[in-house]
Amino acid sequence: MSPYDVSWPHDRPEAPPFGRLTDGFGRRIGYLRVSVTDRCDLRCVYCMSEHMRFLPKAEVLTVDELDRLCGVFIGLGTRKLRLTGGEPLVRKGFMELVERLSRHLETGALDELTLTTNGTRLAEHAADLARLGVRRVNVSLDTLDPSTFRRLTRGGDIAQVMAGLDAAAAAGLKVKINTVALARDNRAEIPELMTFAHARGFDLVLIETMPMGEIDEDRTDQFLSLRDVRQDLAAAWTLTWLSDTTLGPARYSRVEETGGRIGFITPLSHTFCDTCNRVRLTCTGTLHTCLGRDDATDLRSLLRASADDAPVREAIRAAIAAKPLAHDFRIGVGEGPAVRRHMSTTGG
Ligand code: SAM
Ligand code: SF4
């Protein structure tokens, strides 16, 4: 393929068997993302409004409840668990939860336990995460410029994230940097973010902004199509599509000059629903089987009603059987958020 060929690969390799639960369209669901808190120490402009109202503690699952619920999913065949938020590392008891969940890695019931973090507290925890069996982390970083970082996160200190990245690398964790592509704020910086990541052996994954939850800004004017970004990059670098074996929503290219990989997650310009293998659990115990739809199953009340896991199991089975075929994201002038909940509630 020519390096200037920016056509998007729509073909997808055959999905290997993954997870025992199957939805109504024959997709195997083996991946659970759990938001362990809606709280965060940052306020990224595309994610949260400046004055977010957070959930009362009583509504949020305890560490015991999170552990129990994850155990039920694992019993049903979940093979991969990603902990996210909000910011997972600000959640009280988070490392205890990781420690408890790591028993499923030891028994072989779980293939992977991982997290998505903003990195501000990673320096403190990277070594313990590695000790507990975490092998990979996704760290969100949208800019390398300290003042842009402060503005985009409404007050964050990029030095903390840099220290977190160093600690993760020193602990032997594989790092993927997640960058939300923003037309005004980081388009020009994407090559620099890429070389920064690749020089450290990290993947860089670009994400299009998704219309989730009310925020203070209009997302429309920040929307940047990754098709355009890839075209820009391909004018200066040799990008070769890689066949996707990760089953995630990203399509990867190798950058020949750096030897690194760059991923593109394009929920709006391309559909990634046909091989979707994941469901999401909020910190209040609500199961969402599609990121871009408002479908919801309350598992917390079942969990709190009885020590018996059977009703929870049945509710999970029923929700997965009814998983929608595709999301309904659109971004355009005058379009409100496609779903009312914020990414920080659902877990990105
Ligand atoms: N706080 C952690 C972090 O920032 O990595 C984990 C939670 S955060 C909600 C997970 C990911 O969602 C981040 O990479 C963030 O950039 C992304 N995200 C948040 N709001 C988004 C939106 N509206 N569109 C696209 N990505 C979004
Ligand atoms: Fe917090 Fe992550 Fe949302 Fe930023 S993207 S406000 S770090 S939850």
Both tokens of residue 101? Answer: 């969940």
In a domain, 8, yes or no: no
- Residue 90 per-residue DSSP state: G
Both structure tokens of 76: 């049903």
Q: What is the DSSP letter of 143?
A: -
4 in a structural domain: no
Does residue 333 carry a pLDDT above 60?
no
Closest residue by CA, ligand 1 atom 10: 348
The domain total for the chain is: 1
Q: Give the pLDDT confidence score for residue 19 in this predicted structure.
A: 60
CA dihedral 328, 248, 319, 269 (to 10 degrees): 0
In CATH, what number is assigned to the domain containing residue 192? 3.20.20.70
222 Cα–ligand 1 center, Å: 15
Q: Which of 17-31, 35-49, 312-326 has the lowest mean pLDDT?
A: 17-31
Ligand 1 pocket, residue 87 CB under 6 Å: yes
- At 214 the pLDDT is 64
Please state, for a pLDDT cut of 90, what percent of the chain lies above it.
Answer: 67
Residues 221, 240: Cα–Cα separation, whole Å: 30
Residue 2 lies in a domain: no
Angle, helix 122-131 to helix 94-107, in steps of 10 degrees: 20
The more confidently predicted of residues 123 and 323 is 123
| Domain assignment of residue 308, yes or no | yes
β-strands 80-84, 31-35 pairing = parallel
CA distances to 153, 203, 265, 275, 307 from 225, rounded to whole Å, are 22, 20, 10, 22, 48
The answer to the question of residue 3 being in a domain is no
Beta strand 112-117 with 136-140 is parallel
* Residues 219 and 203: beta-carbon distance below 8 Å: no
- What local confidence, expressed as pLDDT, does residue 124 receive? 98
pLDDT digits (tens, 9 = 90+) for 55-91: 999 999 999 999 999 999 999 999 999 999 999 999 9
Q: What does the pLDDT read at residue 328?
A: 63
In a domain, 263, yes or no: yes
Residue 280, phi-psi category: left (phi > 0), alpha (psi -120 to 50), beta (remainder): beta
Which atom number of ligand 2 is nearest to the Cα of residue 180?
5
Q: Which atom of ligand 1 is nearest to the CA of 142?
A: 16
Closest ligand, as measured to the CA of 40:
2
Q: Is residue 6 part of a domain?
A: no
Domain of residue 189: give its range. Answer: 21-50+58-346
**Residue indicated by tokens 């997808």:** 12
**Is 276 domain-assigned?**
yes
Nearest ligand atom owner, CA of 142: 1
